[in-house]
Amino acid sequence: MSAVVWQAVMILSSYVLLDSSVQGCSPGWFGQHCDFQCNCNVSLSCGSQGDCPPNERCKLGFFGPGCQYVDLAARSSGASSPPYLFDNDETSCNPDSQATSVLYALTHGTPVSWFRIYSRYNPRQYSFHVKINGFGPYDDERQYLVNQHVVDVMWGEVYEIKDITIVGNIAPTICSIQITTGRNVALKQFANQSSVFNGAQGQASNAVDGYTSDKINGNSCVVTREEAPAIWRLYFRRPHIVSRAYVYSS
């Protein structure tokens, strides 16, 4: 087992992020407990809120505040989805100037509470609504303008989404979307296990270090002795709503 990734629906708004240099975090980490991982596309380190250096962006597969949210559009796009929606390029946009809707499909049903639209122009100029799995609009849909090219769409609850359809005159201007189930809340949390096979190289914390290498002897995996049952436990500092768990194994 090389890493365990838990994804929560939302980041707790009361969580206070402090400058990593003040807290003495290792390079590539920030936050009050040094448990937020920098996800910039070039630099290892980031600012006190996870912000990337000038002229950098979140690395492929992450977006949102502090580059903390996992982008399913970059990982789980269905074959019927237009490639420009998930190419990580906000300058490649819908080639159909007469489009009245845009469909994005996932490879499988996924719990989702919000997603992000990148538009060629200011989204404030356009009107639209969203259908989930062919149904909608939903009464709890809310739209929030992030900047002159970005709008976030949120719902009051989590829906199991197989596909979303953006309907309205914004359709011809859409360049990309990013959709998420949440962020990795397992990072640097306390973990223990029933036994350790190879000393520090197989310790429980290796599964929440943010690295998914499958090299058992590379200080990146959890290894117990041969026993039944072999147990690994994870403890959170605060409660989370967990929608999905990923386990990477060797």
Per residue in 99-121, pLDDT tens? Answer: 999 999 988 888 898 999 999 99
Say if residue 170 is in the same domain as residue 203.
Answer: no
Whether 11 has a pLDDT exceeding 80, the answer reads no
**What is residue 23's predicted lDDT score, i.e. its pLDDT?**
56
Residues 156, 119, 127, 165, Cα dihedral to 10°: -60
Does the residue 240 lie in any domain?
Answer: yes
Say if residue 170 is in the same domain as residue 130.
Answer: yes
Q: Domain total for the chain?
A: 2
Say if residue 83 is in the same domain as residue 131.
Answer: yes
**Closest to 155 measured CA to CA, from 173, 179, 134, 177:** 179
Q: Which of 155, 183, 211 is the last residue of a domain?
A: 183
Q: Give the separation between CA 182 and CA 72, rounded to whole angstroms.
A: 10
- What residue has token string 């380190």? 45
Does the residue 215 lie in any domain?
Answer: yes
Whether 233 has a pLDDT exceeding 90, the answer reads yes
Q: Give the separation between CA 143 and CA 116, rounded to whole angstroms.
A: 10
* pTM of the full structure: 0.76
Say if residue 117 is in the same domain as residue 153.
Answer: yes
Does the residue 40 lie in any domain?
Answer: no
**What is the residue range of 217's domain?**
190-248
Say if residue 98 is in the same domain as residue 157.
Answer: yes
